[in-house]
Structure 1
Amino acid sequence: MAAKVGKSGCAVESALSVIGGRWKGVLLFWLLKEGCLRFGELRRLLPNCTPRMLTLQLRELETHGLVKRTVYAEVPPRVEYEPTAFGRSLEPVILGLREWGEKYHRRLAAAAAE
C-alpha cells in the first residue's frame, strides 16, 4: 500500500484522502454497525451506489487496510467484507460524523420551518 500523504503534510488531509469519497464513510458506518456484510447486502443498504462504484470504494478501503475481504470457495461464490482492527479505530470518527450530520439535518429543518 502506497502511503497517502497530502502535499501539505497535513494529517487531516491524509485522513480525508483515505476515508473521503462518495460512499466510503457510509460503507464504513454500515460495516462498523453490522460487523460483516456481503456485497448484495451492501448494495441494498446503498441503493444509489452502482455495483462498479461499490466495488471501487471497497477495494480502496481494502487497500488502505480498513476493510478485510474474504472469498469463500463455494458455488455461487460468497464474498464477505468486514472492518479490520485498524478500520474499527475509525468508529469514534464515523459516529462523530453521524452525530454532526444529525445536528445538521435538524438545523436545516429548523431553517426551512422559519
Structure 2
Amino acid sequence: MTKTTRSELFEFDHPCPIRDVLDRIGDQWSLLILKSLEHNAMRFNSLHREIGDISRQMLSRTLKRLEKDGYITRTVYAQVPARVEYALAELGISFLKPMNTLIQWADENHQAICRARKRQN
C-alpha cells in the first residue's frame, strides 16, 4: 500500500470528496437540471421551460459547471442555426440512482420537515 503525499491529496479541487461533490451538485439548480435530462437530451430553451423559474444566465452557468464536472455532455450540431443539446454523461447516469433516492426521501419527508420548521419559529 502506498502512502498518499500532500501534493497528491491536493490534486483535486477539495481534499474532502463529500464536500467537494455536494458543494457542486447541492446548489439550487443542478439536481433539477440532472432530473430534467434523466430520460432524454434537451436543448437550452426546453430545459429553461422545463425548470421554469431559473434565469437564463443561471441555467447557462449551471450547465457549464455540470459539463466541466463531467455530469453532462454538450453536443453542437453543424446546422444553421446551430443546434445544441445537453445530455447526461456516464457520470450523470451513474448519479441517477442516489439522486432519485434523495428526491424520493425529500418527497416523503417534506411535510415533516416543514412541520418541524414551524415548531421552531
TM-score by length of 2: 0.78
Does the C-alpha gap of structure 1 residues 64 and 4 become closer, same or farther in structure 2, counting only changes over 3 Å?
same
Which residue matches 2:28? 22
TM-score by length of 1: 0.82
**Secondary structure, counterpart of 2:86 in structure 1:** strand
Q: Are residues 1:79 and 2:88 paired?
A: no
1:15 CA displacement: 1.3
In structure 1, the gaps of 5 or more residues are: none
Counterpart Cα distance in 2 of 1:19 and 1:110: 26
Which residue matches 1:36? 41
User: Does the CA contact (< 8 Å) of 1:4 and 1:17 recur in 2?
Assistant: no
In structure 2, the gaps of 5 or more residues are: 1-10, 117-121
Counterpart Cα distance in 2 of 1:80 and 1:37: 5
Structure 2: which amino acid aligns with 1:15? V
Larger radius of gyration: 2
* Number of residue pairs matched by the alignment: 107
Does the C-alpha gap of structure 1 residues 109 and 64 become closer, same or farther in structure 2, counting only changes over 3 Å?
closer
Percent of aligned positions with the same letter in both sequences? Answer: 32
Deviation readout 1:15-64 (Å, 9 max, x if unpaired): 112212220011111112x2211111101111110111000000000001
